[in-house]
Amino acid sequence: MVSPSPTPDAGPASHATPLLVCEHISKRFGVTQALDDVSVSFLPGEVHALMGENGAGKSTLGKVISGLHRQDSGVVSIDGRTLTPGSIDDSFDAGIRIVHQELAQCPNLTVAENLCLHDMPRSRLGLVDRRAMRDRAARLLSGLEPGIDVEAPLGSLAPGRRQIVQIASSLEEQHRGGDAARRPARVIVLDEPTSSLSVSEVDRLLGIVRELASTGLTMLYVSHRMGEIFQVCDRVTVLRDGKFVATSRVADIDEATLIEQMIGRRITHAAKREPVESEGRRPTLRVRGLSSPGKLEGVSLDVMPGEIVGLGGLVGSGRSELLDAVFGIDRRAQGEIIIEGASIGTGAERAMIRAGVGYVPEDRKTQGLFFDLGVDENLLMPIMPTLATAGVRGLGRERAAATERIREFQVKTASPKSPPGSLSGGNQQKLLIARWMTHDTRVLLLDEPTRGIDVGTKAEVYRLICQAADRGVAVLVVTSEMPELLALSDRILVMCSGRISGELRGKEMTQANILKLATVDSR
Residue 350 or 236, more confident: 236
Whether pLDDT at 273 is above 70: no
Least confident stretch, 30-34, 121-125, 157-161:
157-161
Average pLDDT over residues 314-340: 89
Average pLDDT over residues 448-458: 77
Q: What is the DSSP letter of 269?
A: P
CATH class as words, domain 285-519: alpha beta
Same fold flag, 19-95+186-266 and 285-519 = yes
Ranges of beta strands (E only) in 429-498 are 443-447, 474-478, 491-496
User: Among residues 98, 92, 128, 127, which one has the least CA distance to residue 110?
Assistant: 128
Segments making up each domain of the chain, as ranges = 19-95+186-266, 107-184, 285-519
Share of the chain above pLDDT 90, in %: 33
What pTM value is reported for the model?
A: 0.63
Q: How far apart are CA 420 and CA 501, in angstroms?
A: 38
pLDDT, one tens digit per residue, over 279-311 is 667 999 999 999 999 899 999 999 999 999 999
Residue 302 or 425, more confident: 302
| Band of pLDDT at residue 227, cut at 50, 70 and 90 | confident
Average pLDDT over residues 219-234: 88
Highest mean pLDDT of the ranges 154-163, 264-273, 313-322: 313-322
pLDDT at position 252, please? 94
pLDDT at position 15, please? 64
Q: How far apart are CA 309 and CA 506, in angstroms?
A: 12
Give me the chain's average pLDDT, please.
84
Q: Which CATH number fits domain 19-95+186-266: 3.90.1820.10, 3.10.28.10, 3.30.360.10, 3.40.50.300?
A: 3.40.50.300
Whether pLDDT at 187 is above 90: yes
Cβ atoms within 10 A of the Cβ of 283, count?
18
Share of the chain above pLDDT 70, in %: 88
Q: How far apart are CA 446 and CA 437, in angstroms?
A: 12
Highest mean pLDDT of the ranges 138-147, 165-174, 373-382, 422-431: 373-382
pLDDT, one tens digit per residue, over 54-94 is 778 888 999 999 999 999 999 999 999 999 999 998 998 89
| Band of pLDDT at residue 521, cut at 50, 70 and 90 | low
| Band of pLDDT at residue 13, cut at 50, 70 and 90 | low
